[in-house]
Amino acid sequence: MNKDISIKADLRESNDIEVLRETVSRFQRMFNGSGYGFWEWNLVTQRLDWSGGFWERLGYNKEEEEHICNANYVWAYIHPEDHQISADAMREHFRTGKPFHCAYRVLKKNGEYIWTEVRADSIRDENGRAILMSGVSFDVTALKNAEAALRESESRQERIIQSSNDGIWEWYADKGGFHFSSRCWELIGFDAHDDEITKGEDKLIVWRKLIHPQDLAKFDQALADHLAGKAPFDMEYRLIGKNKQVHWVRARGRASFNPEGKPTRMSGANMDVTQIKLAEERVMQAKVAAEKANQAKSEFLSSMSHELRTPLNAILGYAQLFEYDLNLTQQQMANMREIRKAGDHLLQLINDVLDLAKIESGKMTVSLEPVLVSRIINEAFTLVQTQADTRGIRLYATMDSLENHYVIADNVRYKQALINLLSNAVKYNNMGGEVEVKLALVTPKILRLSVRDNGKGIPANRQAEVFQPFNRLNAEFSKIEGSGVGLVITKQLVEMMHGHLDFDSTEGKGTEFWIDLPIASEWNQQQTDIIKSAAYTPTQLAFSTTKNVLYIEDNPTNIRLLQQFFERHSCLTLDIAEEPFIGIYKARSTQPDLIILDINLPGMDGFEAMNVLQNDPMTKHIPVVGLSANAMPYDIERGIKSGFFEYLTKPVDINKLIETLNRIFMP
């Protein structure tokens, strides 16, 4: 009986041992697979027992792990900067009995460090001394790196905000109010502790009270439009700051919305633009002053031109009359030609002054000439190549055997237009993209220069805005630099050269712009009006029927000049009226075939007289030719718009006068 009991006891003990072994094995597998380091430190023997493969994952072998089992050697594997914090945490645990918790860096076999977090507790003897300490170590490097990156990001953002000098604000829907940084108040002269700010009202209410009354509705509308998802919040408005001073701020913000489309939060910044606005005001005042000065200069130039052209009219006019005199000797004719050449030179000097005034007034001019397109492409590539290399973009040209073709263009403006298109193709392209410049014949007379990129393209619903000034199609919210006027200028330049600029774009595939210009072989260069040779060939009348001409002019010299011209042509008769009222009366009563009308007349100027003649049924059918020393571009343009058959300027060009008579009277 006792034997059976003993056998049964042995069996139970054997089963208990087996269960214990299985349990130990299971825990061992759990330790090894957890990625944690489990350890137990015998504080009496300074023996450390490790489980879970912690040191193995750090690259150490079995022999090195055995070395680490001596607690006296563990400190060599802890980062020197972390010795103190580790020792302090250990002493705190032994003193208070609270669980041990510490994080420090541990050396890997390859010389790098990882962050490990340690949690442990200890067993104490009857005297309260710790004799055995058990704990777990686990790798928290990723967490520490994330914390460091977050701290650096926060520090960087703080530095940026401080350096920008902007005020930061934020609105929370769930908290029902605005948060303003102290800088927001400092921008308008307040301190965050001023009574106006701290008197208990909601900060947004205080802020709204400070908004200039004329800008409050605009502020509310801009905010409402943004919260409704209609437009970005980016506006400038005025605030009445401390001591009643006016401050301009530029407010920009962006709202966050929940899945139902309701705003949950809005964050933004206020930038002080007061000095910019004051500078703009000074610029506008300077612009007005400059425009007044420019107008005064234009009036002076116009007056000077008129006064110089009046005596030149006699000099060149009488010199031209000698061309019709067959009784002159060769020496006399040579002398006359020298007078004519000197007068033409003086007239060119006057015209140069007027052209300079036109350029300074902003009326850009172009000089059209044959331009080799391939040379323009090569020069433009040279200027844009560095920009393309920075973004890894390949530039190349496809000439299609058209490299020797010339177009009619302004060499400088044509290159400027191409550089603008290339620069945009590079800026708005993808990194590592490509830009192709291609030549093609649209028609036998038109050459097309196109610039194609494989970037993001322009959305179809924004393509109508491409040529709007200062419209960057939301690129202002990106890092791409630019002002938004390059394409506008390019289009104007191309149109000034009598060309055509257009584009085609597919979102996600790219954009192609092109410039169409006439080929040079179809261009007839305009000859200069200045007679440069010594041989003059007078133009002859092309009709012989008698024509009566009325000349309304108050200057005796000009009258005698035309009288002598008309005396040389038996088919022409000239009647003179030295006052505009007499001239209108004679036009009604004598019904001349042509009226030549001066502009600067006493009592009524030529434009007023022209208006009377056009609105009178008795005279409106009579062609009127203007003849005036007012030769500014706007004078000529006004003359043409006023209904003159031709607007001739003094000094009178006899050949042009004869050509005009031929066009009027030829059958």
CATH number at residue 518: 3.30.565.10
Q: What type of residue sits at position 574?
A: L
As a whole number of angstroms, the longest Cα–Cα distance in the chain is: 173
- Sign of the dihedral through C-alpha 486, 487, 488, 491: positive
| Same-domain check for residues 505 and 404 | yes
Structure confidence by residue, pLDDT tens digits, 431-474: 999 999 999 999 988 999 999 999 888 888 877 777 765 444 44
CA distance 16 to 19: 5
Answer yes or no: is pLDDT of 634 > 80.
Answer: no
Reading the block at residue 567, the tokens are 């005396």
What's the structural domain count of the chain? 6
654 or 158, greater pLDDT = 654
CB 630 within 8 A of CB 611: no
Supply the angle between the helices 556-567 and 274-321 in degrees, to the nearest 10: 40
Domain-terminating residue out of 326, 360, 394: 360
Domain boundary among 360, 381, 398: 360
pLDDT digits (tens, 9 = 90+) for 639-652: 888 889 998 887 77
Higher pLDDT, 433 or 162: 433
The token duo for 309 is 């052209």
Residues 556 and 656 placed together within one structural domain of the fold: yes
Reported confidence tier of residue 424, pLDDT bands at 50, 70, 90:
confident
pLDDT tier at 573 (50, 70, 90 boundaries)?
very high
C-alpha distances in Å from residue 434, one per residue of 95, 172, 401, 431, 472: 70, 45, 22, 9, 22
Q: Does 558 fall in a domain?
A: yes
Tokens of 123: 């067993």
Per DSSP, the residues of 464-477 read GGTTSTT--TTGGG
Average pLDDT over residues 154-163: 65
Q: Round to whole Å and give the CA distance between 208 and 211.
A: 5
| CA gap 550, 561 in Å, rounded | 14
Give the Cα separation of 440 and 397 in Å (integer).
12
Check if the beta carbon of residue 170 is closer than 8 Å to that of residue 269: no
**Confidence (pLDDT) at 462:** 78
Residue 300 tokens, joined: 């002076």
Which CATH number does the domain housing residue 601 bear?
A: 3.40.50.2300
State whether 374 and 319 are in the same domain: no
Residue 12 is predicted with a pLDDT of 60
CA distance 480 to 182: 31
- pLDDT beyond 80 at 5: no
83/233 Cα distance (integer angstroms): 53
Both 374 and 517 in one domain: the answer is yes
Please determine, for residue 578, whether its predicted confidence score (pLDDT) is greater than 80: yes
pLDDT computed for residue 353 by the predictor: 58
pLDDT score, position 36? 76
Residue 267 tokens read as 């964050």
pLDDT digits (tens, 9 = 90+) for 49-99: 887 778 888 888 888 888 888 888 888 899 999 999 999 999 999 889 899
User: What is the pLDDT, as a whole number, of residue 32?
Assistant: 53
pLDDT of residue 214: 93
Contact between 141 and 115 (Cβ < 8 Å)? yes
Residue 538 within any structural domain of the chain = no
- At residue 627, does pLDDT exceed 80? yes
What is residue 579's three-state secondary structure?
coil
The Cα 480–Cα 457 span in angstroms is: 15
Confidence of residue 534 (pLDDT cuts 50, 70, 90): very low
pLDDT mean over 617-634: 84
pLDDT in tens, 539-570: 788 888 999 999 998 888 888 888 888 888 88
Mean pLDDT value of segment 331-337: 79
Which H or E run includes 453?
strand 446-453
Cα gap 20→8, rounded to integer Å = 18
Burial class (CB in 10 A: 0-12, 13-18, 19+), 91: exposed
**What does the pLDDT average to over 259-285?**
87
Q: Show the CA angle centred on residue 328, arms to residues 322 and 329, nearest 5°.
A: 140
Q: Are 233 and 253 in contact (CB under 8 A)?
A: yes
Q: What is the mean pLDDT of residues 242-265?
A: 88
Judge whether 539 lies within some domain.
Answer: no
Q: What is the pLDDT of residue 13?
A: 57
**Residue 478: is its pLDDT beyond 50?**
no
CA gap 82, 100 in Å, rounded = 15
Q: What is the mean pLDDT of residues 572-577?
A: 92
647: left (phi over 0), alpha (psi -120 to 50) or beta: beta
User: Omega of the bond prior to 651 within 30 degrees of 0, cis?
Assistant: yes
> Does residue 233 lie in a domain region?
yes
> Is the pLDDT assigned to residue 374 strictly greater than 50?
yes
In eight-state DSSP terms, residue 99 is: P
The pLDDT assigned to 507 comes to 87
Q: Is residue 532 part of a domain?
A: no
Verify that 69 and 204 share a domain, yes or no: no
Domain end, chosen from 219, 249, 272, is at 272
pLDDT at 382 over 90: no
Using alpha carbons only, how large is the chain's radius of gyration in Å?
46
Return mean pLDDT, the chain. 80
Domain identity same for 402 and 476? yes
Check whether residue 416 and residue 503 sit in a common domain.
yes
Distance between CA atoms of 178 and 184, rounded to whole angstroms?
A: 12
- Per DSSP, 362 falls in state T
**Has residue 397 got a pLDDT over 90?**
yes
Cα separation of 260 and 23, whole Å? 54
Name which of 483, 482, 429, 427 is nearest 455 in CA terms. 429
Residues 401 and 469 both lie in one domain: yes
pLDDT in tens, 516-528: 999 987 443 333 3
Q: Are residues 377 and 313 in the same domain?
A: no
Domain that holds residue 657: 547-665
Mean pLDDT of 623-631: 84
Give whole-number Cα distances, 24 to 29, 31, 280, in Å.
Answer: 9, 10, 82
At residue 205, does pLDDT exceed 70?
yes
Written as one letter, the residue type at 619 is T
Percent of the chain with pLDDT over 70: 80
Which amino acid, residue 188?
I
Residue 237: how many other CB atoms lie within 10 Å: 18
> What is the rounded CA–CA span in Å between residue 209 and residue 203?
10
Distance CA 582, CA 61 (A): 123
The residue-averaged pLDDT of 324-351 equals 73
Predicted confidence at residue 522, as pLDDT, reads 46
HSE-up of residue 512 (Cα within 13 Å, Cβ side):
12
User: CA-CA distance, 70 to 411, in Å (whole number)?
Assistant: 85
Q: Does one domain contain both 424 and 504?
A: yes
Residue 366 · residue 497 · CB < 8 Å: yes
Specify the 3-state DSSP secondary structure of 168. strand
Comparing 130 with 479, which gets the higher pLDDT? 130
CA 434, chain centre distance (Å) = 22
Q: Given CA atoms 67, 68, 69, 70 in this order, what sign does their dihedral have?
A: positive
Q: Is residue 388, in this structure, part of any structural domain at all?
A: yes
Q: Which helix (H) or strand (E) holds 312?
A: helix 274-321
pLDDT at 525: 36
Q: Which of 178-187, 351-360, 366-375 has the lowest mean pLDDT?
A: 351-360
Please indicate, yes or no, if residue 153 is contained in any of the structural domains: no
SS3 label, residue 256: strand
Residues 473 and 404 in one domain: yes
Q: Do residues 179 and 72 both lie within one domain?
A: no
Share of the chain above pLDDT 90, in %: 23
Asked if the structure places residue 528 within a domain, the reply is no
Residue with tokens 């040191």: 55
